[in-house]
Amino acid sequence: CTAQWIDEDWNLCTFELFCLLYRNPNKTAANLIKVIEEGLALYDLEPFMVDIIWICDRGSNFVKALSKFTVVHCIAHRLNNVLQHTFYQAEINKTKKSVFADHYIECADDEDNYISSTDTEDDYSSGDDENLIEKGKKGINNFYRASIRNNNNVPVA
């Protein structure tokens, strides 16, 4: 867990609060929040959990664990998802089917916090990323059409 803030001179300040060994094999929301609370307890910061703006990826376990708090989803993860979807989606699907076809392991159900096998960070609230991707595709298509018109000496409105 890292604390970040802006000081009076507009400098980004960072302080590593804690890094605890995660002992539980199940990364459920309930287990994650316990570890976060344990780490914050080292500094008597548990009462301030509601005042913290949490930043995390969109993994369903983190979303559920931090559902009572203010959460900002990490823009680096979102950008990575958009770029992977845009540039590598077809290649990833081919690789999964041909190279790793016989290497999948069935996971046991977790009675604490059931997460389906298709529920990943990429799947959670993907509609907003999909909207960005579609908007980008429309922009590229409009740019492409405009450049063709310009190359043909046809005025563009």
Range of the domain at 3: 1-100+110-152
What is the C-alpha to C-alpha distance for residues 89 and 95, in angstroms, rounded to an integer? Answer: 10
What is the C-alpha to C-alpha distance for residues 36 and 50, in angstroms, rounded to an integer? Answer: 13
Q: What is the pLDDT of residues 17-63, one digit of tens each?
A: 988 888 888 899 999 999 999 999 999 999 999 999 999 888 889 99
Domain assignment present for 129? yes
Asked whether 124 and 63 are in contact (CB, 8 A), the reply is yes
Domain assignment present for 82? yes
pLDDT above 90: residue 142: no
Domain assignment present for 157? no
Domain assignment present for 87? yes
- Which candidate, 48, 43, 56, 57, places its Cα nearest to that of 15? 43
In the chain, how many domains are there? 1
pTM above threshold 0.75: no
Domain assignment present for 142? yes
Domain assignment present for 105? no
Domain assignment present for 96? yes
